[in-house]
Amino acid sequence: MKYSIIVVLLVGLSCQQEKTVLEPKTQVSNADKVLHEMATTYLFPLPENAMDEAHPYRAALVNLGKELYYEKVISKDKSVSCNTCHPLESYGVNDTPLSKGVGGHLGDRNSPTTYNAALHLAQFWDGRAKDVEAQVEGPLLNPKEMAMSSKAEVVHRLQQMPKYLALFAQAYPHEKTIKYPQIAQAIGAFERTLMTPSRLDEYLEGHLDVLSEKEKQGLKKMLDFGCIPCHSGAAMGGALYQKFGLFDNYQRFTKSNKHDVGKLAITQEESDRDVFKVPSLRNITKTAPYFHDGSVKKLEDAVRIMGNVQLGRALTEQDVEDIIAFLAVSADWTKKTDGTK
């Protein structure tokens, strides 16, 4: 629900230019048709995967990436895997403000879900990695996460395991040895398959009867209040950056323990102070705690805070209830995702 008038107008116009509005497939009222048309100006159904021309689908690479995602051997004390901080069995999050890495060290920010993350314009809260492949390389060598001593050590450990010699040979048949960049390529390929189609996608595709009246009220309020233009696209977010605290200091409401300056730490540009990537709202009812530092435990509190600091608006109890009802729709999956075709 991060919002500024200028950004919203620009994003809205861009979406209208790029997106063909899907026609309703059921007999509905004119009001429902108008709501659907407004929604599909900003929100798109999920694709089957996030593969593109530079990252084509290869089953052997995805299968290798899936094995590596769960592999703890590539952490210093063999206790941490990607799935430790981003457990796929619980919507890609581990329900703690900050994740624990090797030796119990806490990370600096809340670990976001890996589901649908490959659709984002960049990775990490500050966007410092251009894609999921680039993101993978960070935790492996981060002393607070998997804490491996070097790229060579990561490769060496995998080379000692016959299973991985076979899997890498299948994924890279023309390579004689395992190479470090291949690890990130493989895990990234797997993450590009982690899509979570839901009732929301059925609605966006034109099946207007799948939403209840309460859920439609929540959607309408998110559009009317200005939440959706920032939480837009197929992922309902991850498509742009925004200052956290447009109308008020967010720390007054989140009670955060420390002040995180956001993208400023990366760019050294004062205009990036308190700027973060807009998070995805897909599965948000299942991915507590909230915000970059995991400082807020309950979604209803997070929604109220967003109203205050991003919209300059005090949301009523009914507003919050309706909005959460709509947000829950994206967590009502219509297909189990396991990362393989």
Catalytic annotation, residues = 145
- Pick the closest to residue 183 from 249, 227, 213, 138 (CA basis): 138
- Pick the closest to residue 282 from 201, 167, 336 (CA basis): 201
Going by C-beta distance under 8 Å and a sequence separation of 6 or more, which residues neighbour residue 230? 1, 2, 3, 7, 8, 11, 237, 240, 242, 278
Q: Which residue has the tokens 């109203």?
A: 307
- Rounded Cα–Cα distance for residues 35 and 25 (Å): 14
Helix (H, G, I), strand (E, B) or coil at 327: helix
Say which DSSP state 206 is in. Answer: T
DSSP 6-69: HHHHHHHHHHHHH-PPPPPSS---HHHHHHHHHHHHHB-PPPS---BTTB---HHHHHHHHHHH
Q: Please say whether the beta carbons of 194 and 114 come within 8 A.
A: yes
- Pick the closest to residue 65 from 160, 169, 158, 171 (CA basis): 171
Residue 66's identity, in one-letter code, is K
Residue 137 phi, psi dihedral angles, 5° rounding: -70, -25
* Interaxial angle between packed helices 180-191 and 59-69, expressed in degrees from 0 to 180 and rounded to the nearest 10: 100
Residue 81's identity, in one-letter code, is S
Angle at 301 (CA atoms; ends 295, 307), nearest 5 degrees: 105
- Rounded Cα–Cα distance for residues 177 and 62 (Å): 18
Residue 309 CA: distances (Å) to CA of 110, 157, 229, 296, 332: 20, 47, 16, 14, 29
